[in-house]
Chains A and B, each alone.
Chain A
Amino acid sequence: MKNTLYRALAIVTLSISLFSCSNDDDNNVSGNGKLILEFDNAYGANDLILNTQGNVTSNNEVLKISLVKYIISNVVLTKADGSTFTYPKSKSYFIADESSAAGREFELTDVPAGDYVKVKFGIGVDKAQWELGAAGQDDFLAQADAAGMMWTWAAGYKFLAFEGTFTSPTVTTATPFMIHTGKTGTDYNYTEVTVDMPTKALVRTTITPEVHLITDLSKIIDGKNKIKLSDNNTNGMGAMIMGGTNLPLITENISAMFRVDHVHND
């Protein structure tokens, strides 16, 4: 009796081991899915904390950041085989905003199923779009206006708004700074970046990959080009950089501040 029991147990164990290796992979790559671009603002290696966190630049200026907004546009996804999917322009303008949850994640819909390895996007609004005139902007104009990402229509969009207070060896009391990029008389200052994904984003009808990008804000004034806020602090009224020769330099810096940290294929 006992022996029969043991044998039964052994057989059950064996059969479980033999028949449990089935693997039902869903290799059905067809239809459309979604993809989420998450923009996570950082300062250097640290997560960005608004208002309280003192961020030190290589010029020994300490920045307390109170506002970060930027326009993400013209998203193009590249598949592993090199083919690309251009997200429809009419839907491809987003405002990243550190202060709101809605400003951190952008969901792309009707994305063809596939294995994506790269994402390209613009920072700002491209010139062709702006040249369509106010009527050609659809509701993005109103959106940008509400977010404070417009000057006058003629002056155009603000591509990036980066504000807060700073101190430095020469400026010892907290002094406001504001950096707004956009077109100037001489430069348009729209820039595009392409970033690789460390893990493929598997867009499927059943999988919505989340591409987690890190935006390293330290690069804005402390990237390839170093800009001292203290040098722009005219009459001690605050460092206001919204035009002039610094904008193309900042634009160049901005184009290097994005990277994909990881991809969740959930």
Chain B
Amino acid sequence: MKKLVVICTFLVGFSAFSFTEKDSISAFTFHRLEMMEDFDCDACGCSASGGSMGFSSMLNNNFVGVRYFKQSYTSRDGIFANSPWIDENFNTIQAWARIPVTEKIQISALVPYHFHERQLTAGTQSIEGLGDITIMGLYTIYETQKDSTVFSHKLNIGGGVKLPTGKFKETNNLGTINQSFQLGTGSWDFPLVTEYVIKHNNLGLNTTLNYIIKTENSKNYQYGDQFNYAGTFFYLFDINNFQIVPQAGLAGEVYQTNKQHNLDLPNTAGDILFGKFGVEAGKDRFSIGINAMLPIQQNLSNGNMEANYRWSINLNYTL
């Protein structure tokens, strides 16, 4: 925890001194921050992270970004009370871009690269490679136009497809261990997203609801559908075109039971609620952010799996 604070401070300082380029209008908008810290992941092990991540932005400009995020889990390697608990670490580097098609329609693409490892009793197992690429379209249903209103609102909806570009290996799911130690779900999945943002002066609340429909893959394995929800308060400090946006909120995930050959697999459903907090800093065309998520309440894989923490760091550049 202390470390995180130190890192945050360091990063804020770093970004303050690094981007000295003067620009009359900052391309950085705090709206954009909200989509970035929402790094919910698929099916515990992030077999296909990003399906629910940050497609529901209000941003209208083009940008590219890169993010690193880490998830730490501890899971039971076996079915007995004395089965050992093992550490599982999921690392992802993600590139993403967002392109407006019209004023109300945007297309977003996300390309994750995973490098995961877990310390099985039999030895450490590592997997690395391209994850599932997601392509989504977003549509702005409503947006407050006047600047003078006390509250401004914005509502986005969207949907898309998650391609089975990440490798799904049956053998990674053998035995009775975390069923999500994979680079991808191996299936065509379909995320549906909504985002609602309400703002008053510099204070805002961002609410997102996502549902990911997952289908059966070629190995007859089907991850359970996933529902994500999040609410995040943010506040914009703007000092001489240098923005700092602290944020805090709650995020939850609910997983349906996985299936194999259309039969329910025991102990694969679950739910988890995180507290999340972070800070973003931006100047000119650059923004940098760091976020952390700590579990408040969880029941994953019938108690056979525990999320410890997640954290992420991202860097974006407005085109």
Contact = CB atoms under 8 A, between A and B. Distances in A.
Nearest to A46: B82
B81 interface: yes
A21 B222 CA distance: 13
> Residue among B159, B170, B262 with the most chain A CB within 10 A?
B262
Interface in A233-266: 261-262, 264-266
Interface residues of B, number: 31
Nearest to A261: B79
Given A9-B107, A261-B79, A17 B263 contact: no
A21 B215 contact: yes
B115 interface: no
A23 B107 contact: no
A91 B262 CA distance: 32
Given A45-B81, A46-B82, A262-B266, A23 B260 contact: no
B221 to A, nearest CB: 10
Contact of A47 (B80, B159, B263): B80
A200 B160 CA distance: 34
Contacts of A13: 107, 135-137, 160-161
B93 interface: no
Given A6-B107, A266-B174, A42 B80 contact: yes
Contacts of B174: 264, 266
A155 to B, nearest CB: 36
Nearest to A17: B161
22 contacts: A6-B99, A7-B101, A10-B101, A10-B137, A12-B135, A13-B135, A13-B160, A13-B161, A16-B163, A17-B160, A17-B161, A20-B188, A23-B216, A45-B80, A45-B81, A47-B82, A199-B266, A200-B263, A212-B79, A264-B174, A265-B261, A266-B170
Interface of B: 78-83, 99, 101, 107, 135-137, 159-161, 163, 170, 174, 176, 188, 190, 215-216, 220, 260-266
